[in-house]
Structure 1
Amino acid sequence: MEPKKKNAMAVTLVFGILGVSLLIASFATDHWVKSSPVLKRSTQSPANETDGSATKYTGNITFGLFRGYRVLDYGIGPRPQDINVVCSGSDGVCAWSNSSDPAKRADYMKRIVKFVDNVKTNGTVKDLIDYGLFNFGLWVSTIVMLALGIVWGLVSLGFTAFNVVGKPIETITGPAGLYLWNGLAGTFSLLGALLYVGLFTKDLATNVLPKDDVDIGWDSNDRTQLDYSFFFVVGAVLSFFVSNIILVVSGQKLSCSYNRAAEKELDNGMILY
């Protein structure tokens, strides 16, 4: 392989490592969404509510794909809590639980299932969002797409390294394969990002609080946005597609350039035999 093309291949290896690392970081960090809810109704001074000037207590919530952390101030000081995703696949909904007790989580899930069954008969999708629920299908699809992005990214890294130090004799192991693996990694990562944007727009942007907090007066509507863990995925998508652009600019062809060398090695082997 020409030095220029080999150097370009090494650069794509760096971008591939960056892409996979960013996807793994997006799973490992719990900052996909951040929210700053407010308590619009003072539970400490109900008399103040008559003139519409009730004290607004604030909170901070951050969470990832599986867990998160929140701090709410009810007027008696910040109250920190860990939160975790709980889901009912059969009902197609997930929610955030702020309890570390398995028994309380199970009880919360029973309440969710009962509420969902009631909404199916008498309610609307808005009722589900107000209850603090979000779509199970979009959530699990996001995770699957990102996991596939990591898998294909690792495959791309392996074959890129092989192209840098070795001489592939099959088309799929040469530059043509790298276009494919990078393309698959970038495509699945992009799908994961788009699915999560759909989940955020449809459910999370409106409410990230359980029903009990909403009933007290907490509100997160228009106070929630995507955080840096999500943008790790965006960076990974760009890394994979930049890798393919570098291959194109460097003149890497879709066909493997080592076929003649492979045939020569086979011929020599047959002559020696």
Structure 2
Amino acid sequence: MPGCFKKTLFALASLISFVSSILIVVAMGTPKWMTGKILCKTGADLVNATDPELVKFIGEIYYGLFRGGKIRQCGLGGRRSKFTIFPHMVKKLNTGLHVMIIMFLCVAIFFSLVSFGFCILNAIKVPYRAIKGPAGVCLWNFLAGGFIVLAVTSFMAAVKLHHLTERIANFRENVFQFVILEERFEDCFWLCVASATAHAVNLLLIAISGIHFPKIKTKTEEANVTAEDIMY
């Protein structure tokens, strides 16, 4: 029974690792990490807009790691546009930090898949020459989760400390200046957080698999030895 229980835990851990890698891939490919509201400050200042009139100058913006879009509201109606981060916009951002976020997530995908493979090997007990057993699986999950945390933390630093949204909103805006009124982390950002949480759950499952449960033994009946048995 304990062997079957451990196999079930490792099979569940392998599934979680695979799902974690899928979540990261989906998050990287979707342009909805951040959304926000942007105010066309130049247009509002030109007409000296008051509070009720400011609605005509408030647009929207959304972006991910590779692309995004915005709606410019400068008093003449909304104008939609889409943009890509690479190759031109990234030069105006904190290039090193943005590339590091992408690299951290790519490494996290790699370690998630490694964890997936090692969980399967532990579940079916295939011999192999590498770091094996619960300690090895814990290592790969810890590395995968750690790199996801680094990516999420770096993205938050880019948004809050390096004013990423404002830089993107004002990219190639020679006439109008935009001010950020509101910022909100969207689903793709939280997918990465969920992926890191999944690896924390894996660590818990592996810890449970290391518990040694007592084996259930059937009680044997005592044999009655007679004098005749001893003679024969």
TM-score normalised by the chain length of structure 1 = 0.67
2:65 aligns to what SS in structure 1?
A: coil
Corresponding residue number in structure 1 for 2:216 = none
- Partners of 1:20 and 1:219 lie apart in 2 by 36
1:203 aligns to what SS in structure 2?
A: coil
- Partners of 2:134 and 2:159 lie apart in 1 by 37
> Offset at 1:19?
1.2
Q: Is the 8 A contact 1:37 1:223 kept in 2?
A: yes
Letter matched to residue 37 of structure 1: I
> Offset at 1:231?
1.2
Does residue 61 in structure 1 map to residue 61 in structure 2? yes
Tell me which of 101, 115, 118 is aligned to 1:142: 101
- Partners of 1:134 and 1:252 lie apart in 2 by 49
Q: Is the 8 A contact 1:42 1:55 kept in 2?
A: no
Letter matched to residue 64 of structure 1: G
Q: Give the 5 Å matches for 1:176-187.
A: 176-187=135-146
Q: Is the 8 A contact 2:37 2:183 kept in 1?
A: yes
- The count of residues paired between Structure 1 and Structure 2 equals 208
1:24 aligns to what SS in structure 2?
A: helix
Gaps of 5+ in 2: 213-232
Letter matched to residue 94 of structure 2: N
Over the matched positions of the two proteins, sequence identity in percent amounts to 24
Task: Answer with 1 or 2: which has the greater Rg.
Answer: 2
Letter matched to residue 225 of structure 1: R
> Offset at 1:180?
1.1
CA RMSD of aligned residues (A): 2.7
> Offset at 1:139?
0.5
Corresponding residue number in structure 1 for 2:193 = 234
Kindly tell me: are residues 165 and 82 of structure 1, through their superposed partners in 2, closer, same or farther at Cα, counting changes over 3 Å? same
Does residue 157 in structure 1 map to residue 116 in structure 2? yes
1:198 aligns to what SS in structure 2?
A: helix
Letter matched to residue 223 of structure 1: E
Does residue 210 in structure 1 map to residue 206 in structure 2? no
Corresponding residue number in structure 2 for 1:6 = 7
Q: Give the 5 Å matches for 1:36-47.
A: 36-42=37-43, 46=46
> Which deviations, in whole Å up to 9, do the C-alpha atoms of 1:121-174 show, x marking residues without a partner?
xxxxxxxxxxxx431111111111110000011111111122222333556133
Letter matched to residue 24 of structure 1: V
Q: Give the 5 Å matches for 1:73-88.
A: 73-86=73-86
> Offset at 1:204?
3.0
Q: Which has the higher contact order (CA 8 A, sep 6+)?
A: 2
Q: Give the 5 Å matches for 1:118-129.
A: none
> Offset at 1:42?
4.0
- Partners of 1:152 and 1:252 lie apart in 2 by 25
Tell me which of 152, 155, 158 is aligned to 1:193: 152
Kindly tell me: are residues 214 and 53 of structure 1, through their superposed partners in 2, closer, same or farther at Cα, counting changes over 3 Å? farther
Corresponding residue number in structure 2 for 1:15 = 16
- Worse overlay, 203-212 or 13-22: 203-212
- Partners of 1:84 and 1:205 lie apart in 2 by 14
Gaps of 5+ in 1: 96-132, 254-273
